[in-house]
Structure 1
Amino acid sequence: MADSNNNIILFDMAKNEMFDINDNLKILRRKLQGSYTIAINKHEITVDVLNGVQLVVFGAPRAMFSEAEFNCLHKYIDLGGSVLVMFSEGGEKELHTNINYLLEEFGIMVNSDYVLRTHYYLYFHPKECLVKDGVVNEAVAKYLDRENENTSKCISFVFPYGASLNVAKPAAPILTSGSVAYPLNRPLCAFYSASKYSNKAKKGKLAVIGSGHLLTDKYINWEENDKIREILFDFLITNNITLNEIDANDPEENDYEWHQSKLWTLIELILFNVTHVMSNTSYRTFVQINTLRKISLIYTKQGCTIEQHTLLLHGLKKCTGLCREKE
């Protein structure tokens, strides 16, 4: 079904994808067009649609897949095809899709959560997470020719408005949220390669990233996000990246938990840091205070009690008052 001699990358648009190659992925398109033929699909996924395609990209689908489509995609990967799936904050729940059904068969599941940075650093919005220690597979350092560096810190990237993943064999986590973003040390990007588990001549691949925003025109040139783009597409299309077996078997990551106690600690951390910064900055700089009000709604969805939610709103009002005093 997939032919390694072809250089067609198919971007699916049949599922009302959030990330569009003709809209918010224009820079990505320009970078790919030099070496690959870009095609767009607006119809149901079938064998004919995937015939001759080297890579299929789903830019955060916002519609349901049928069982026939899942079977077709599974067969496509089994026969050597590659698939990239992007997500956004809130995972399946926010996107109203069911693609985890397919991903789970390869050891990957996207959580219905939000990755947040616990303190202000460089980027104001807590969902624009700067991760400096998130690499968990040595293959990334080797690919970047940075093997002499601390593997976890060999690349810095911004992970905006994304969700975390659960990863189990046969898949392997590649990037995590590191020690600063919350939930801590949780997978943000994972790879699956059939080459380790099959003797077939053709080896299918799958890559899942919890934030497709990372590849959009707005964020692709932030920090080293474009290097992440190179890693994703080189893994899926070429044989230039071979996953480190030891790292794949024993990655450094934390168990996934959203306990209310930890949740409230995070709320307090954000309020403390925002209050501290606001007490030393003009009100005009913090017009984006409304974004913090939206965060309070997120916490409510994640299990915050009514009392905690009320306290959070009170804290935000207090922060706003500090801002206005400094105006």
Structure 2
Amino acid sequence: MDTEAVRSFVRAAELGQLRHAADELGVTQQAVSKRIAALERELDVRLFTRTPRGVELTLDGQAFLPHARNIVTGVDRAITAIKPGSRALRIDVLGLRSAQAVVLHDYWRSHPQTDLDVVTLKVNDPGVAVAAVRSGEIDASFRSVTDPATLPRDVRMIHAFDSPTELLVGPAHPLAAARTLTPSQLRGHRIWVPGIAPGSEWADFYEQLAAAFDLRVDATGPNFGNEVLLDVLADSTDVATLVGSRDRYLWPASYDLRRIPIVNPTLAYPLSLILPRENPHPGLRAIIDHFGSLPPLPETTWRPSWAVAPRTREDA
């Protein structure tokens, strides 16, 4: 099917006149008329009826129009995807206060000329993010698929960077005075992480973490957001939570919350990037290089079984 014929049909349908469509497309009215006639012959239907005022869609034309628009949009996306610098680099992050967004912001501050669009799909299912990458809706997504074998062949998952975890507690918590903590020192303490989505990558992370170090990770109760969680921690004598060392949290000074690094081993949340296998956005290369320049974690670092090791990261 001639995509330029489909484009001519769409613009004629939207403008109501072949002449206006021709002017917009930069061709002659005769060329537009021939394209549409050829398209009608290929489809074996009449798409327009001619009137003194221009053209009107037939019932078949009305049925074909939304699909024709999708064809034109898909072609435009495909062309745009391979034109370096033609559009902003769109990257999906889990939240604008997450370590992913913080690291991207650090990169952008040192490269302000980068045309970067940071978005949040706000979905728990990594399959939705994979589909968005495949469709071209986004160029990359900070998601991890815990079984990489399930990824479609036209996308891949690479290691981005690791986010060390810290214990976040209020001033009355028994561990509040510690400068650092080992995982064994967390045993018996309630680590509250409300709203863990079943089947999500972070659900698997916490399950493996709890099993590896005999920890009590409590996901009970609805997730009312970070502000409510911080309120609870500030007043609690027995509740703690885990946060990423680069995650950005804000709370009133009166809360006096403490972020305590966990060491020997460091507990790392592995952050992966999902991107197209072929023709990724040209702006991704520099950002992936930036991830590689981040300080490495100690050799004594624990990661879940599905983590993609930095040494196996492929070039974008």
Give the TM interval when normalised to the shorter protein. Answer: under 0.3
Q: Which has the higher contact order (CA 8 A, sep 6+)?
A: 2
TM-score, normalised with respect to structure 2: 0.26
Structure having the higher Rg: 2
